[in-house]
């Protein structure tokens, strides 16, 4: 008889359980699901932030590159400073323009005659009382991403030496 009693007890205990383990298990599953969803959302937000930072860096680099190319052309500054209209730029060579870049007309900040020549041509002019000109310009370029609309503006100072025929008032100096 002693052997039958433990079996009866376990059967009676099984009938008396109220399902607490099931409720606790469900709570943990819900918490785990919320944790996973939160991690996925966090990763998605971080990916978008990184993507926006990349677009900003690319736009800034393109604006800087455009200013450097623009500054290499003498006629962009004299006799009359000219703006460069918005042009498309294909950064990944897929045949479509991802960015548009516009350069505003450069602004002459200062112009002064050289008293000490920096080139042989200017040295020959100084001997005859004709001076070359040192000028300082402010050039601004704006690059805009065609897909996201993110834009970056870069302003750079450019120093240019002009020959003695330069007439500062015509360039706005």
Tens digit of pLDDT for each residue in 143-160?
999 988 999 999 999 999
Mean pLDDT of the chain: 86
Could you give the angle at the alpha carbon of 45 between the alpha carbons of 44 and 50, nearest 5°?
100
Beta-bridge partners for 141? 103, 154
CA-to-CA distance for 41 and 30, rounded, in angstroms?
A: 17
Location of structure tokens 């200013």: 67
Residue 152 pairs with which residues in a beta bridge?
A: 143
The residues, any chain, with a CB within 8 Å of residue 63's CB and separated by 6 or more, are: 101, 141, 142, 143, 152, 153, 154
Whether residue 108 contacts residue 137, with contact meaning beta carbons closer than 8 Å, is answered with: yes
Stated pTM of the model: 0.70
Predicted confidence (pLDDT) per residue in 18-77, tens digit: 778 888 999 999 999 999 998 888 888 888 888 889 999 999 999 999 999 999 998 899
Distance in angstroms (rounded) separating the CA atoms of residues 64 and 81 = 19
CA distance 15 to 11: 7
Domain positions in the chain are: 4-171
In 3D space, the residue among 151, 144, 52 whose CA is nearest the CA of residue 97 turns out to be 144
């Amino acid at each position: 008889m002693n052997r039958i009693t433990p079996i009866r007890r376990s059967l009676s205990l099984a009938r008396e359980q109220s399902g607490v383990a099931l409720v606790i298990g469900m709570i943990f599953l819900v918490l785990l699901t919320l944790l996973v969803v939160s991690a996925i959302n966090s990763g998605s937000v971080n990916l978008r932030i990184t993507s926006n930072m990349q677009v900003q860096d690319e736009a800034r680099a393109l604006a800087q590159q455009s200013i450097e190319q623009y500054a290499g052309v003498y006629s962009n500054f004299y006799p009359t400073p000219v703006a460069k209209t918005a042009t498309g730029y294909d950064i990944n060579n897929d045949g479509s323009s991802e960015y548009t870049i516009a350069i505003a007309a450069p602004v002459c900040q200062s112009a002064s005659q050289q008293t000490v020549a920096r080139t042989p041509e200017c040295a020959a002019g100084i001997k005859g009382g004709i001076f070359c000109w040192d000028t300082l310009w402010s050039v601004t370029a704006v690059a805009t991403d065609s897909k996201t609309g993110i834009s970056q503006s870069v302003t750079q100072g450019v120093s240019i030496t002009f020959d003695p025929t330069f007439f500062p008032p015509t360039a706005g100096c």
